[in-house]
Structure 1
Amino acid sequence: MIYIQLFLSFLQIGLFSFGGGYAAMPLIQGQVVTTHQWLSMSEFTDLITISQMTPGPIAVNSATFVGIKIAGIGGAFAATAGCILPSCIIVTVIARLYLKYRNMDLLQGVLQSLRPAVVAMIASAGVSILITAFWENADKITILNTNWTLVVLFVLAVFAIRRFKMNPICVMILAGIAKVVVSFAGL
């Protein structure tokens, strides 16, 4: 039964997550944290971090991680299959239709109208992750409750990426090292 739940949950994510991995995060959060409560919000934040650091799409990595955590290797296969099946079918159909109708103005208009919704979904996921990272209890967001170490690391990471055009992987590694050093220093 858990295999079917994993398959169907990630089938929904795979079916409705237009715009890639970042757009899928609110859907994954809804299924994994809110609906089924397979992970806590803190575990979900760790999941996103792990999914970012491993090769492959975020949604597929998340499906595999959640599947293994909930039901072992079989759960990983069920969740991952559910996540990628809609994409395989939809991309095949859309590719055929796009090749046939790619010059239609209506099609170009539809594609352009989807962009703002994707940006909103990405922003929603980003804000949710920031809140979880900076405040342990999202219900009590105050200046005193803020994890200033993580805020400073975030600002430095954004600055390094935007100003110095550093590779995001290097920034992630440096941020991880900085957090470990700060933790050992007791700050």
Structure 2
Amino acid sequence: PLIQQEVVNTYHWVSMNDFMVGIALGQITPGPVLITATFIGYKVASFAGAIIATLGIFLPSFFLVILTAEIHQKIEHNSIVRAAIRGIMAAFTGMMALVVINIARSALVNIPSVVVALGTFALLRFTKLGTIWVIIGVGTIYWFLNLITNGYLIH
């Protein structure tokens, strides 16, 4: 929600549709936030923007890990630290729920998109199918549902 607010609503660097494409691409690759930042950087300032955005997302956490790695072993079993981590995880869960709600509002716009979303969830949750096969299969099904529902190919 924070990146979306800044790049779509505040600065208007990318449209909501472009942002959703970036999120979707990021979700099927390692490091969704890193990939999304790289995508937005590229949309704003081509290759140089992609490099700067990637470094801007990657370097702070890289240096933070280096600086805190040594003390982590000393404090990881501390009850206050463990309680703080539980609180952080609760906040993270809430933020992820907000992301899901925002994406659902933008993506679930017709019956085929709802059917595909529910089918994808069911396949990933209740079967052992590989993610890539689910994406390929669901993409094909969505294409056919759109063809049937609208009477023409997706543009």
Assess same fold via TM > 0.5: yes
Residues 1-187 of structure 1 mapped to structure 2, 5 A cutoff: 26-53=1-28, 55-135=29-109, 147-185=110-148, 186=151
The AA in structure 2 aligned to 1:79 is: A
The AA in structure 2 aligned to 1:39 is: V
Structure 1 distance, partners of 2:26, 2:125, is 22
Structure 2 distance, partners of 1:157, 1:103, is 39
Structure 2 distance, partners of 1:180, 1:50, is 18
Structure 2 distance, partners of 1:163, 1:84, is 34
User: How big is the shift at 1:160?
Assistant: 1.3
Structure with more relative contact order (C-alpha pairs < 8 Å, separation 6 or more): 1
Structure 1 stretches of 5 or more lacking a match?
Answer: 1-25, 136-146
User: How big is the shift at 1:134?
Assistant: 1.5
The AA in structure 2 aligned to 1:48 is: I
Structure 1 distance, partners of 2:44, 2:87, is 37
Structure 2 distance, partners of 1:150, 1:173, is 15
Structure 2 stretches of 5 or more lacking a match?
Answer: none
Structure 2 distance, partners of 1:168, 1:31, is 30
Give every structure 1 segment of 4 or more consecutive aligned residues whose post-TM-superposition deviation is greater than 4 Å: none
TM-score (norm 2): 0.88
User: How big is the shift at 1:94?
Assistant: 2.4
Q: Quote the RMSD (CA, aligned, Å).
A: 1.6
User: How big is the shift at 1:116?
Assistant: 0.9
User: How big is the shift at 1:62?
Assistant: 0.9
SS in 2 for 1:103: coil
User: How big is the shift at 1:63?
Assistant: 1.4
Contact 2:42/2:48 (<8 A) preserved: yes
User: How big is the shift at 1:36?
Assistant: 1.1
1:73-115 alpha-carbon deviations (Å, 9 max, x no partner): 1111111111111111111222222122222211111111111
The AA in structure 2 aligned to 1:29 is: Q
Aligned residues: 150
User: How big is the shift at 1:167?
Assistant: 2.4
Structure 2 distance, partners of 1:131, 1:157, is 17
Structure 1 distance, partners of 2:114, 2:145, is 13
Structure 2 distance, partners of 1:162, 1:60, is 25
Structure 2 distance, partners of 1:102, 1:62, is 31
1:143-182 alpha-carbon deviations (Å, 9 max, x no partner): xxxx001001111111112222322322122111112223
The percent of aligned pairs where both chains have the same amino acid is 30
SS in 2 for 1:67: helix
